Amino acid sequence: MTRDPRYDVLFEPVQIGPVTARNRFYQVPHCNGMGHVMPNSVAAMRGMKAEGGWAVVATEECDIHPSSDVLPYREGRLWDRQDQERLALMVDAVHAHGSLAAIELMHHGHAVSNRYSRLPVMAVSDMAVAGYDPVQASAMTRRDIANVRRWHRKAVLRARDAGFDIIYVYAGHDLTLPMHFISRRYNRRGDEYGGSLENRVRLTRELLEDTRDAVGDTCGVAFRFAVDELMGDEGICSAGEGREVVQMLAELPDIWDVNVSDWANDSVTARFGEEGDQEPYVSFVKHYTSKPVVGVGRFTSPDAMVTQIQRGVLDMIGAARPSIADPFLPSKIEQGRLEDIRECIGCNICVASDWTQSPIRCTQNPTMGEEWRRSWHPESMNERGASKTVLVVGAGPAGLEAAMSLGRRGYDVALADRTEGGGRAVAEAQLPGLASYQRVADYRLGQIGRSANVRFYPGSEMDASSICEFGADHVAIATGAQWRRDGMGRATWQPVAGCETHPALYTPDDIIAGQRPERGPVLVYDDDHYYLGGVIAELLAETGLAVTLVTPGPEVSHWTQNTMEQHRIEQRLLEMGVMLVCKQTLAAVSPGQVQTRCNVTGRMQQRDAVSLVLVTIRAPEDALYFAVAGQDEAQLADLPFTLMRIGDCLAPSTIAQAVYDGHRFAREIDERPDPDAVPFRREQSLIESGNS
């Protein structure tokens, strides 16, 4: 297949100071939950992006000094020579595929508490640190400013010596010292670094000039700047000081990397933001500089990318999340394989990895974060084992991924489902804001449809007899899970009395199937704490019903703090008139009412609920598995085929985890790992002897 000439512009080289990017695809800095703790994993992950055609591949934020210690988060570090050697692994992995390696240097100022280094926190002014730590930051003296400039310069030189091609000065989001100096919210100084915008920009200008002086003509200098904080007059605004900063510094960097702030705005979920939604804020930048401009917008459509270039909005297509969902997105466009692109669904499960301090993962790309520790490649599978045929029962996220991946390995695969396929991904895509979840099914069904050795049988109801008669070498049961109707959940370990007799009780399965409460008030009880409880409350409020959302959590949809959308969910529900009740656990149910218990005081309270929606936990649909395996799996050893449960049928979780479990099953089908051994490589700390 050949490239569509409409996309030729995307593959033009771009000059970035003394270095040249081979095309216009730029993986902007993004966190990954691995950072300085797992340098081999990071290097393999970034190297995969370069192999996939990204011309520039950047690190995550890299702290320049122990006074900017971001523990507990696993970001990059460039404190000393050892850190330089760790980062050089990534440089080598990126250079091996002809791409440029970029490093984002930063000092966090008051955005950290220095929990590891225990050094005093420095800030532009005397203030509390960000968050809720009982720690305050000290206003920087001129000596402190000189120290930061020196530390930054030393980090620049280490980065150059590590082989990086592009070195950042970072004033993006609300996390960086240069931005803190620029911001009127934080900068209350009365010296030459405070007051006028020119004074507040002084440190940023000095860091850019210091970086240029340090690297000369060996590296490109990038400046990442949040041109708008979406706070109106209270913050940097693209119609005001954001524009003025660009004018002041227009020709100093070799490339402008522009976005909006903070991170929750820069990486907004698909539920609350569309592809390319940063354009209104960043499109002015090219009018004030002759240097190339890169920006982001969760771009997955090559047509949208081309229009950004042709209309003079951007020179390079920046991506974090789309490069995670498909590291080979540029190559697929270049090869004319648009139907093979795994499009980002904007769920931010990748972002959650950073907030939960765990290796990065992706709903669409189950190999993300596994490049080094499991040697998984997103575009190639290990060769087929000794067996040949596999039957997969259930075409939800796990079953689809398993069937598709087994087909790529060379197995003859039969995929059966009583529906048209897609499982919960297709079902949930019908709900407000979740349409992009359809991509999980569409990509895999499309790949299966073009596979010569995977046959899909929609509308096929399998039972134990038909499975045993099929004659496959392996059988995977991927029949999913159903939401419980008895109130049992995370806060309630037993069924709740009265649920079985409530005359108008619903679960998410009922709502998705089109059933709706006819009368209110409706009480949505959310003991799931992810997105679904809030989505259902929103859906019902749209119909005009009086809705109350009750949760045992400290806030509604609490886990979505990790996907950076909790505040938006709460705001939307309040604006729709939904009453929100937190820290209350369901205790008893009766017709027309429920009883809840305060998590703090234990006090009981009656609440009107003509209709009740329970969003608690799901029960695996495993009856078919045990019909074949026997009670206590007593018949497994006697079966002429291997039998396994995968995905939600085994352990209900996120869609990302279901996809991952289906992929892992496909990788390991003929070579099951030793259950007593660690099934992947680990990165472990060096044990030093003596008192060195």
| Residues recognised as catalytic | 31, 170, 173, 266
Determine contact, residues 40/372, Cβ cutoff 8 Å: yes
91/159 Cα distance (integer angstroms):
10
Number of H helices, E strands in the chain: 22, 29
519/523 Cα distance (integer angstroms):
11
H or E segment to which residue 575 belongs: helix 566-575
**DSSP for residue 540:** H
Which SS3 state, helix, strand or coil, does residue 160 take? helix
> How far is residue 380 from each of residues 40, 384, 631, measured CA to CA in Å?
20, 12, 38
Angle between helices 39-51 and 81-95 (to 10 degrees): 30
Query: Which residue shows structure tokens 């692994």?
Result: 89
> E-strand spans in 375-438?
389-393, 412-417
Using CB atoms within 10 A of its CB, is residue 637 exposed (0-12), middle (13-18) or buried (19+)?
exposed
Q: Tell me the backbone φ, ψ of residue 252, rounded to 5 degrees.
A: -70, -50
Using CB atoms within 10 A of its CB, is residue 380 exposed (0-12), middle (13-18) or buried (19+)?
exposed
For β-strands 579-582 and 547-551, DSSP reports them as parallel
Look at residues 309, 259, 270, 296 and name the one whose alpha carbon lies nearest to residue 27: 296
What letters, b where the CB count within 10 A reaches 16 and e where it falls short, cover 174-210? Answer: bbbbbbbbbbebbbebeeebbeebebbbbbbbbbbeb
As given in the structure block, the two tokens for residue 560 are 């979505």
3-class SS shares of the chain: helix, strand, coil, % to 5: 35, 20, 45
Angle between helices 397-409 and 438-449 (to 10 degrees): 30
433/416 Cα distance (integer angstroms):
29
545/534 Cα distance (integer angstroms):
15
Which SS3 state, helix, strand or coil, does residue 334 take? helix
382/376 Cα distance (integer angstroms):
9
> How far is residue 627 from each of residues 425, 468, 475, 507, 632, measured CA to CA in Å?
26, 11, 13, 26, 11
What letters, b where the CB count within 10 A reaches 16 and e where it falls short, cover 20-29? Answer: ebbbbbbbbb
Determine contact, residues 106/61, Cβ cutoff 8 Å: yes
301/344 Cα distance (integer angstroms):
10
Q: How many CA atoms lie within 13 A of 654 on its CB side?
A: 20
Query: Which residue shows structure tokens 């390079």?
Result: 316
What type of residue is 552?
P
